[in-house]
Amino acid sequence: MKLLSLVLSALLLTACSSGPRIDHSYTASGQNSRVQYIVLHYTSTDLPHSLQLLTQEEVSAHYLINTVPPTIYQLVDENRRAWHAGVSEWQGRTWLNATTIGIELINQGYFDTPKGRYWQPYAQPQIDALIVLLKDIMQRHQLPPGSIIGHSDIAPQRKVDPGPLFPWKQLADAGLMPWPDAAMVAREQAVFTVSPPDVAWFQQQLAGLGYEVPNTGELDDATRNVIRAFQMKYRQALYDGQPDAETAALLLVLNRMGKA
């Protein structure tokens, strides 16, 4: 009797340690990926320091891409949350760590010199590797074009990465994001040059794309930062945060594309 009791106890312990028995015969059709966006960053440092920061500190990312060779490191499983976005908002969603995949690119960012700010360019092999990775992620998570955003898009008051030298147009040419048609932009720019919109219009258009922007009608520092973030993505030749005619044209064309 004592032996039987020991056997039953052992079986019970084994059952408890192995977890519940779950039937996986059925799969619900009403579901999709938890991933809504992919957020791009630069590391502001070299590979050894980046690996140390992203694996041994609080901050983390799902992927890290080196320059030469363009190695792709996976640091966090895509089904788990990485700590890369911080306080953030896009298209009304906040605290985006839970709904994003974060990709860090080895890049020093910028240096302030007596002659002005210097931005480090991105290595083409690194961008080629990134595009391959982005296509794979978007296919597996069934993300629509336009789901790739920069850290500066979701936190324009405190972040500038991936910076004005990041080649967003290459991502558009690869079919990963929409891009404003140059002829349409030129037509709208001519109209806005004669009749420029007010600041409230810019704020509404930026919000329509997904940015968190004040709705005050005033050209305050926060609004300038959001305009600058937009310009660093779509008009990299000039990103001064000024609400000018070309920026207005770019905004209008992109918003029309989103509603088409």
Give pLDDT, residue 18.
Answer: 73
Binning pLDDT at 50, 70 and 90, where does residue 8 land? very low
Which pairs count as long-range contacts for 236-243, CB under 8 Å and 24+ apart, including other chains? 236/164, 236/165, 236/168, 239/164, 243/196, 243/197, 243/199, 243/202, 243/219
What is the enclosing helix (H) or strand (E) of 53? helix 47-56
CB contact burial 184-206 (16+ within 10 A = b; e otherwise): bbeebbeebeeeebebebbbbbb
**Percentage of the chain modeled with pLDDT above 70:** 93
Using alpha carbons, select from 225, 110, 226 the residue that is nearest to residue 166.
110
Of the listed ranges 8-17, 52-61, 66-75, 111-120, the least confidently predicted one is 8-17
Task: Give the residue-averaged pLDDT of 216-233.
Answer: 98
> Do the strands 72-74 and 116-119 form a parallel or antiparallel pair, or are they unpaired?
unpaired
How high does pLDDT run on average in the chain?
93
Q: Is the pLDDT of residue 192 over 70?
A: yes
Binning pLDDT at 50, 70 and 90, where does residue 7 land? very low
Binning pLDDT at 50, 70 and 90, where does residue 9 land? low
**Percentage of the chain modeled with pLDDT above 90:** 88
Task: Give the residue-averaged pLDDT of 190-212.
Answer: 98
Say how far apart CA 199 and CA 75 lie, in whole Å. Answer: 42
Binning pLDDT at 50, 70 and 90, where does residue 1 land? low
pLDDT digits (tens, 9 = 90+) for 151-172: 999 999 999 999 999 999 999 9
| pTM tops 0.85 | yes
pLDDT digits (tens, 9 = 90+) for 101-146: 999 999 999 999 999 999 999 999 999 999 999 999 999 999 999 9
Give pLDDT, residue 5.
Answer: 55
Say how far apart CA 171 and CA 38 lie, in whole Å. Answer: 13
Give pLDDT, residue 142.
Answer: 96
Of the listed ranges 28-37, 78-87, 145-154, 180-189, the least confidently predicted one is 28-37
Measuring CA to CA, how many Å separate 96 from each of 37, 57, 200, 215, 230? 9, 19, 26, 22, 19
Active site residues: 104
DSSP state for residue 62 in the 8-state scheme = S
Contacts of 210 (CB under 8 A, 6+ apart): 90, 91, 149, 153
Set out the domains of the chain in order of their start, with CATH numbers: 37-174 (3.40.80.10), 182-258 (1.10.101.10)
